[in-house]
Amino acid sequence: MEPVDCERCGNRVLVEKNSWEHTTVQWSTDHPEVICEEYQQDPSLTQRGARIGRCSALRESIRKAVLDGRIPVPE
Amino acid sequence: MDIEESDEVRIIDEGTPPARFARGWHCLGLAEEFRDGKPHSIEAFGTKLVVFSDSNGEIKILDAFCRHMGGDLSQGTVKGDSIACPFHDWRWGGNGKCTGIPYARRVPPLARTRAWEIMEQDELLFVWNDPEGNPPPPEVAIPAMRADDAEWTDWQWKSIVIDTNCREIIDNVVDMAHFFYVHYSFPTYFKNIFEGHVAIQEYEGVGREDITEWDDPDVPQLVSTTSTAAYHGPSFMIDDLTYHYEHFKAESILINCHYPVGPDQFVLMYGIKVKKTPEVPAEIADQMVQAMIGYIGIGFEQDIEIWKNKTRIDNPLLTNEDGPVYQLRRWYEQFYVDVADVKPEMVDRFEFELDTTRPVEAWKQEVADNIARKADAEASA
């Protein structure tokens, strides 16, 4: 898994792709102070306390890392 | 398809079901059913419980076995605010304290049995299990389901005993492919998220034309299904399930929950409510919820047929188009260890979005083949 830093909050996650459409994201709570603030601010990202939402900033950061070739994608 | 050549045979590691029972809130069913003035016997967590309601209608749960000579309180009688043992009439209050022994001059010191913490919410009764004996922390509370902004039907609620370890039903959270092969549905989108004590499955699917035929124009045609299902703790899943028809949608809440009886048995319960809307008025919603509880029951029967015949497997052999079984079990492990031993990797957020390209391709073909085969069979008949 390859590290990706969120361009907005700096939260570092580990990302793996088995294909273009598949994505695994492993978060780490080593630095809880930088865990994505989008979840705290946008109630539509949660459903009864379950954080289902996609953080748009992190999603974009991962997309860029994939396009830059920082995350290998098997053909 | 790539096939790696190897002479080595994969050996199944069956493992053994854990000896302890998960820490967490467990639903015991509709609360009202326990308020009939009688004691109710519940076999759970490797023991027997007695559930009864006191004179104020407050539900209490104690260990069923009387601390005097081991009599079964669930066969006894509710007397005032206490449950009386059928063996020698020892009385036990809802807080676990012995409240009286009619034939004795005094109650012995330390006459206290285990009282279980309960919660009532959305007409359901929950019991807290913790092998360490700690009270439930507020952050693992089951979220309330009923919102005041809409009317819902009453619960349709069912319960069934299943003779296997309850991890089998947890595994379904990540099992996309079984929806096609076991439940005859057709997943098109599938994602899992685990975080803290919550495990989520996001699902989108379409109908199976080879299974269901719409030839009655008066029956609305189901176009697709969307579902966001979340386990809040080890045993209680709330599924926001929406059926999309051609001109309207039907929103429902499906509960899939269980409590363990022993290491090799659990009680599965499921319930459903349908939202009343202008498109789904009360009488339609009531009909719908009746029909849906039937379909859902069939779905669980399909699972049970698999569980009854399969082996436990600790080392499943997976492909990229399977969901994250190992990470799900890593999440589930947090409920089976002491709080002090919960590791960050059990609770750190983990997301897995499955690539459904290949499964959708294969299943479209299979559906088309099934339809063609049916047509051939009808033509030659």
Mean pLDDT on B52-62: 96
Check: CB of residue B260 under 8 Å from CB of residue B44: yes
A19 touching B (Cβ < 8 Å): yes
Going by pLDDT thresholds of 50, 70 and 90, the confidence category of residue A65 is very high
Among B312, B318, B344, B331, CA closest to B230: B331
For the stretch B347-377, pLDDT in tens is 999 999 999 999 999 999 999 999 999 999 9
For the stretch B311-347, pLDDT in tens is 999 999 999 999 999 999 999 999 999 999 999 999 9
Mean pLDDT on B138-143: 94
CB contact under 8 A, A27 and B355: no
Structure tokens, B89: 């009439």
Q: Which amino acid is at B191?
A: K
Strands B24-30 and A12-16, how do they pair? Answer: unpaired
pLDDT given at position A52:
78
Structure tokens, B296: 């859902």
pLDDT given at position A29:
72
pLDDT given at position B256:
97
CB contact under 8 A, B348 and A29: yes
Among A23, A28, A29, beta carbon nearest to B353: A23
A28 touching B (Cβ < 8 Å): yes
pLDDT given at position B147:
67
State yes or no: pLDDT of B148 exceeds 80.
no
In angstroms, what separates the C-alpha of A27 from chain B's closest C-alpha? Answer: 5
Rounded CA-CA distance B283/B286 in Å is 5
In angstroms, what separates the C-alpha of B241 from chain A's closest C-alpha? Answer: 13
Task: Give the residue with greater pLDDT, B82 vs B292.
Answer: B82
Rounded CA-CA distance B48/B246 in Å is 49
State yes or no: pLDDT of B218 exceeds 80.
no
What letters, b where the CB count within 10 A reaches 16 and e where it falls short, cover B10-49? Answer: eeeeeeeeeebbbbbbbbbbbbeebbeeebbebbbbeebb
Check: CB of residue B15 under 8 Å from CB of residue B41: no
In angstroms, what separates the C-alpha of A43 from chain B's closest C-alpha? Answer: 15
Which single residue is written with the structure tokens 């490797």?
A: B46
In Å, how far are B32, B129, B192, B297 from B341, measured between CA atoms? 37, 17, 24, 37
- Cβ contacts (< 8 Å) between A48 and chain B: which residues? 143-145, 230, 232, 238
- Cβ contacts (< 8 Å) between A52 and chain B: which residues? 193, 200, 202, 228, 230
What letters, b where the CB count within 10 A reaches 16 and e where it falls short, cover B260-270? Answer: bbebebbbbbb
pLDDT given at position B222:
85
CB contact under 8 A, A51 and B145: no
Q: Which residues make beta-bridge pairs with B195?
A: B198
State yes or no: pLDDT of B163 exceeds 60.
yes
State yes or no: pLDDT of A10 exceeds 90.
no
- Residue of chain B nearest A35, judged by CA positions: B349
Mean pLDDT on B142-161: 89
State yes or no: pLDDT of B250 exceeds 70.
yes
Going by pLDDT thresholds of 50, 70 and 90, the confidence category of residue B120 is very high
B1 Cβ contact partners less than 8 Å away, ≥ 6 residues apart: none
State the complex-level ipTM.
Answer: 0.91
pLDDT given at position B219:
74
In angstroms, what separates the C-alpha of A31 from chain B's closest C-alpha? Answer: 11
CB contact under 8 A, B195 and A25: no
pLDDT-above-70 percentage for chain B: 98
Going by pLDDT thresholds of 50, 70 and 90, the confidence category of residue A69 is very high
CB contact under 8 A, A27 and B198: no
Interface probe, candidates B195, B255, B343, B361, chain A, greatest A C-beta count within 10 A? B195
Residue A48: strand, helix, or coil: coil
For the stretch B5-55, pLDDT in tens is 678 999 999 999 999 999 999 999 999 999 999 999 999 999 999 999 999
Check: CB of residue B199 under 8 Å from CB of residue B350: no
CB contact under 8 A, A52 and B200: yes
State yes or no: pLDDT of B1 exceeds 60.
no
State yes or no: pLDDT of A35 exceeds 70.
no
pLDDT given at position A39:
66
pLDDT-above-70 percentage for chain A: 79
- Cβ contacts (< 8 Å) between A29 and chain B: which residues? 344, 347-349
pLDDT given at position A30:
65
Contacts by B327-330, CB closer than 8 A, 24 or more apart: B327/B174, B327/B194, B327/B352, B328/B170, B328/B171, B328/B173, B328/B174, B328/B192, B328/B194, B328/B199, B329/B167, B329/B170, B329/B171
What is the rounded radius of gyration, in angstroms, for the C-alpha atoms of chain B? 24
Mean pLDDT on B111-130: 97
A32 touching B (Cβ < 8 Å): no
